[in-house]
Chains A and B, each alone.
Chain A
Amino acid sequence: MEEILIFFYTYKEAIFIIALSIFLGIEVISNVPAVLHTPLMSGANAISGVIIIGGIILVGHADASRINTELILGIFAVIFGTLNVVGGFVVTDRMLEMFKKKKK
């Protein structure tokens, strides 16, 4: 029991952010028309590429003077994260571009 309290206290800011973000995520999405489900899923997917920051921090502080597992896997994490970010946003834009075109 005490350990749970310690956990809560240590991470209280993060836990507040999580609790509020959950409501924010639900609020922001509700009432979205079915037409936008696919682009929205794709756009949200791109945002989850925020993990790229973790990859950058990892590689940024890795030992770059010699080849090692941490460096190699970290580089892969950055490449994968970028794929998620760039691919996700570009694909979403491509989908939305079409909706735009026909509105003219």
Chain B
Amino acid sequence: MDKILGTFNGVEFTVGGTLLELSYLVAALLFVVGLKLLSHPESARRGNFYAGAGMVLAMLTTILLHKNADGGGIQPANVWIILAAIGVGSAIGWIIARKVKMTAMPQLVSFYNATGGAASALVALLEFPNADMSNWGSVLVTLLGLIIGAIAFSGSMVAYGKLDGKVNDIRAGYLSYINLILLAGTLALALFILLSGQTPTELNWAIYLLLAVSLLYGVLFVMPIGGADMPVVISLLNSFTGIAAAMAGFIYNNQAMILGGILVGAAGSILTLLMCKAMNRSLLNVIIGAFGGGDAATQGEQGTMKEITMSDASVLLAYSRNVVIIPGYGLAVAQAQHVCHELDELLVSKGVNVRYAIHPVAGRMPGHMNVLLAEADVPYDQLVEMADINPDMPSTDVCIVIGANDVVNPAAINDPSSPIAGMPIIKAHESKNIIVMKRGRGKGYAGIENSLFFDDKTRLLFGDAKSTLQKLVNEIKDL
């Protein structure tokens, strides 16, 4: 392995070093192919496996073959430490990933993104003392890795907290000014470190201050963003983590890290924009946080919500021809997807045509609802996308809205002043009857009134989605 093959640009290279670079090339190709396969339903699982294999390969060859600048390999003692750390990380990561409920998926992705950001920030922090201050390019990438990694870490942790209901939104207007000042401060500090001409040891205080300011910026950056916009933010922070990893790749002149990181950075940015498009919002809008708050001036004229009894609801459903179920996050929170499938099977057995209308952003993440319903064995062909089901709405006898709110709010079409104006919705209000299952009389995630709930055709069933559905299923069975 240590056999010298030749010299390139005046540097000798060995068999091991060459094999290492070769393995990085294979890993990078596996990342690309994996990501490509991940974007098609039939091949997605294989794609995930390829990307994972690429990662394992790169990790193994790095441990076995990496040499530092003096040609020293990784000592056995260090190998054991690395393997132990990988063991701990794998065990925790595996257990959490297997145990967590499907409904908690978005916050889990956010949490893992945070760990990636933390790793990037730590690597940059530890590499800073070795930086050659006269080479401003290498200092710049180290600082960027630190800043971006830290923002990705603290921002993702706040996003995690918000999705998990542990952190509340703070929507003060002055926050955006504080954020601007913080961002300017962060950049100024980075510029100072870059141009001060001092040694890394002398700049020790500055690098820790930079870390602190970046962490704080991450927190305050995500704080004012509404919960409904969290998926967009996670996707954005995900691309940050990728860029931070690529910066670290610069430090080590490691092509696999650069390519993998930038690939994720670019893919994450596009995904972020795609999600914004699905919600008909601009990224700027999301970040500034125009959502929510909007006092419903029309509150007085909304009329009253009309309830329906279980027996009336069961009769209405059992004797319908076309039923459309519109699931929202409320269904997921109540873990009601299995009972919901029971209801649809029961209705189908009675000759009712039952379909699910899936809004692109139903749940807490795009595609989240499909995952949840898939978990409950709802067949693929029963899930219909919004654009395909909307034309059928006027001929639908009953629409069951379960724990969804903003995605069926007619205000998006009727009221140009509404904060969600222009967002594509499922046109539940066009169907003949609407049954809404709601936990309480409160507003939806975006915090705006929904005129659908006050519609003359609408009847409400209050209560936890799971127990309400269970009662409904029992009632229909007894018919």
Q: Which of A70, A73, A79 has the most CB of B within 10 A?
A: A79
User: Contact: B366 with A24, CB < 8 Å?
Assistant: no
Which among A44, A49, A55 is the interface contact of B55 at CB below 8 angstroms?
A: A49
**A interface, how many residues as a size bin?**
35 or more
Using A46-B55, A54-B252 as known contacts, say yes or no to A21 and B97 having CB atoms under 8 A apart: no
Which among B74, B127, B259, B366 is the interface contact of A37 at CB below 8 angstroms?
A: B366
Q: How many residues of B contact A (CB 8 A)?
A: 114
A34 → chain B closest CB, angstroms: 5
User: Contact: B52 with A58, CB < 8 Å?
Assistant: no
**A26 vs B82: C-alpha distance when bound (angstroms):** 34
A43 → chain B closest CB, angstroms: 5
User: Contact: B68 with A40, CB < 8 Å?
Assistant: no
User: Contact: B89 with A78, CB < 8 Å?
Assistant: yes
**A87 vs B32: C-alpha distance when bound (angstroms):** 20
Using A31-B39, A90-B94 as known contacts, say yes or no to A47 and B82 having CB atoms under 8 A apart: no
B88 at the interface (CB under 8 A from A): yes
Q: Main SS of the interface on chain A?
A: helix
User: Contact: A83 with B92, CB < 8 Å?
Assistant: yes
Chain B residue contacts of A84, Cβ below 8 A: 93, 112-113, 115-116, 119, 241
Which of A68-104 touch B at CB < 8 Å? 70-71, 73-103
B328 → chain A closest CB, angstroms: 16
Chain B residue contacts of A65, Cβ below 8 A: 77
**A45 vs B248: C-alpha distance when bound (angstroms):** 16
Chain A residue with Cβ nearest B27: A50
**A82 vs B253: C-alpha distance when bound (angstroms):** 21
B78 at the interface (CB under 8 A from A): yes
**A44 vs B108: C-alpha distance when bound (angstroms):** 14
User: Contact: A25 with B265, CB < 8 Å?
Assistant: yes
User: Contact: A21 with B113, CB < 8 Å?
Assistant: no
User: Contact: A41 with B274, CB < 8 Å?
Assistant: no
Q: Which of A21, A64, A65 has the most CB of B within 10 A?
A: A21
User: Contact: A47 with B251, CB < 8 Å?
Assistant: no
**A33 vs B94: C-alpha distance when bound (angstroms):** 27
Chain B residue with Cβ nearest A13: B255
Which of B76-132 touch A at CB < 8 Å? 77-79, 81-82, 85-86, 88-90, 92-94, 96-98, 100, 102, 105-106, 108-109, 111-113, 115-116, 118-120, 122-123, 125-127
Chain B residue contacts of A10, Cβ below 8 A: 135, 137
Chain A residue with Cβ nearest B97: A90
Chain A residue contacts of B111, Cβ below 8 A: 87
Chain A residue contacts of B259, Cβ below 8 A: 17, 21
Q: Which of B301-309, B348-356, B378-386 lies at the binding interface?
A: B378-386
Which among B32, B72, B116, B238 is the interface contact of A61 at CB below 8 angstroms?
A: B72
Going nearest first, the 8 A-B pairs with the smallest beta carbon separation are A82-B89, A25-B266, A87-B93, A37-B366, A86-B93, A60-B74, A84-B116, A21-B262
A selection of 19 A-B contacts at a CB cut-off of 8 Å is: A14-B249, A21-B258, A26-B270, A37-B274, A41-B271, A41-B365, A48-B264, A49-B55, A50-B55, A51-B261, A52-B119, A53-B252, A54-B127, A76-B122, A79-B85, A83-B112, A91-B108, A98-B371, A102-B378
Known: A21-B258, A48-B245, A85-B55. 17 other contacts (CB 8 A): A14-B250, A22-B265, A22-B266, A25-B270, A28-B263, A32-B39, A34-B367, A39-B371, A43-B34, A47-B260, A49-B119, A54-B123, A55-B123, A73-B126, A85-B89, A87-B108, A95-B371
Query: Which residues of A does B touch, CB under 8 Å?
Result: 3, 6-7, 10-11, 13-14, 17-18, 21-26, 28-62, 64-65, 70-71, 73-103
